[in-house]
Structure 1
Amino acid sequence: MDVIESVRAAVLGYFGVPSADSASVTFLGLEPIEILRIPGGEFVHYVTLGGARHPMTDPAAAVVDPERGPRAELVLTLRGSAAHTGLTRALGVLIASPAVEGVVLQPDALLDLGEPLWRNAPFTAVLLGPGDIPDLALPEPADPVRFLSVAPITATEAAWVRLRGAPALREAWAEADIDVRDPERGAANL
């Protein structure tokens, strides 16, 4: 079973495109990670390929199952078509965090890079949420691949998540009518 090719087919099928531009990111000791760039109308979608190769496991687990366990890929959607220098590397770091740091990617997870997601971006962290792409079933006994949405957030918003939780930040965004897909947006007034 080639998980990555199955993920690629599911992503391209979801967006209704035959192919996508891609960039590859490599980290010492890890298999290459690919980032697809899929323009679509007023948005551009960035989707990781590589996180679902292996199930995510708790680093404290005594036994690691090579088949069972959650699998995920990340989907970042931004308004506009401008290039964002450094974004590919940042997404590579985020999707590699399960293998490097033992993080299990799931909705409401806060991942802090401590540096801008792309050059001159005010966003230094991301908040994961449920994605729009349906889960991709894999042959038994493997768990399905989940596609998690990535919302870029500022350091202030990350502190808010730590203090009040992800639902409170999403509520603040809704009240302020903030579009997290806007790369030019400011932080929510918290």
Structure 2
Amino acid sequence: MLQHTESALVSALGEIDARAAVTFLGADRIEVLRFRDPDAPLVRYATLGMSASPMTDPTAAVADPLRGPRAELLLTVHAGHPATDRVLRPLAVLAAAPQVEGLVVRPDACLDLGEPLWPGAPFSAVLVAESGGLVPDLPLPGPCDPVRFFPLLPMTPAETAWQRARGPEALRAAWLAHGTDLRDPDRSAVPLSG
């Protein structure tokens, strides 16, 4: 199945520029793939391996090996910032969270690493966006749920706290109102008020 997932990523994002694998105790291997956009100065990172098993609610009595949401994570940043390549392990940590912590990743979820996404990054958390835009959902044979490819929107600590208090919709509205470039690896927090 991961072969189909990788093919879906390549079809949507182009050829893989680099890849790295990370293995955590008690979790399957997670790869992070890097893609360079030939038409724009962007670099995209995608996890591969998170979707191998469905995410299971930790309160469920029995984990269904087939049914349940499946996902991979996507992060897009402007190219040219060498430190962003150090995001590979943090992305793998987020992708392993469903197996390690029983987390079910959904749109509007806040995933907080508690440390910078890469050295010197002003972000330590991400907001999960809706799937289907950059990489279409990948249907799987029934009864499996499709693989959804969730874009991650980096948040500063102030934005993370504000989002928790006001909700993700309010943060997205603030980003939109200020024309925030969410792909800028050096951006500062959006002005927050109210």
Question: Normalising by the residue count of structure 2, what TM-score does the alignment of the two structures yield?
Answer: 0.93
| CA distance in 1 between partners of 2:26 and 2:175 (Å) | 38
Task: For 1:185 and 1:31, locate their aligned partners in 2 and report how far apart those are by CA, in whole Å.
Answer: 34
Map Cα deviations across residues 26-71 of structure 1 (whole Å, 9 max, x no partner): 1112221100000002100000001100000100101211000000
- How far apart are the structure 1 equivalents of 2:27 and 2:58? 16
Question: Among 181, 184, 192, which residue is 1:182 paired with?
Answer: 184
Which moves more between the two structures, 155-164 or 76-85?
Answer: 76-85
Corresponding residue SS for 1:156: helix
Give the aligned CA root-mean-square deviation in angstroms: 1.0
* Letter matched to residue 12 of structure 2: Y
CA deviation map 1:61-101 (0-9, x unaligned): 01211000000000000012333253001000111111111
Aligned to 1:65: 64
Once superposed, which parts of structure 1, at least 4 consecutive aligned residues long, lie more than 3 Å away? Answer: none
Gaps of 5+ in 2: none
1:121-140 alignment, distance < 5 Å: 121-131=121-131, 132=133, 133-140=135-142
Asked if 2 retains the 8 angstrom alpha-carbon contact of 1:85 and 1:119, the reply is no
Question: Could you tell me how far apart the structure 2 residues matched to 1:87 and 1:171 are?
Answer: 26
- State the alpha-carbon separation in 1 of the partners of residues 85 and 6 from structure 2: 23
Kindly provide the amino acid, as one letter, of the partner of residue 103 in structure 2: V
User: Are the structure 2 counterparts of residues 188 and 162 from structure 1 closer, same or farther at C-alpha, using a change threshold of 3 Å?
Assistant: same
Matches within 5 A, 1:133-152: 133-152=135-154
Q: Is the 8 A contact 1:123 1:155 kept in 2?
A: yes
Which residue number corresponds to residue 42 of structure 1?
A: 41
1:21 paired residue number: 18
Within-5 A mapping of 1:33-182? 33-40=30-37, 41-83=40-82, 84-131=84-131, 132=133, 133-182=135-184
| 1:5 aligned residue (3, 19, 27) | 3
How many residues in Structure 1 have an aligned counterpart in Structure 2?
A: 187
TM-score by length of 1: 0.95
Instruction: Kindly state the Cα deviation for residue 20 of structure 1 after the two structures are TM-superposed.
Output: 3.3
Q: Contact 2:14 / 2:35 at 8 angstroms: preserved in 1?
A: no
State the percentage of identical aligned residues.
50
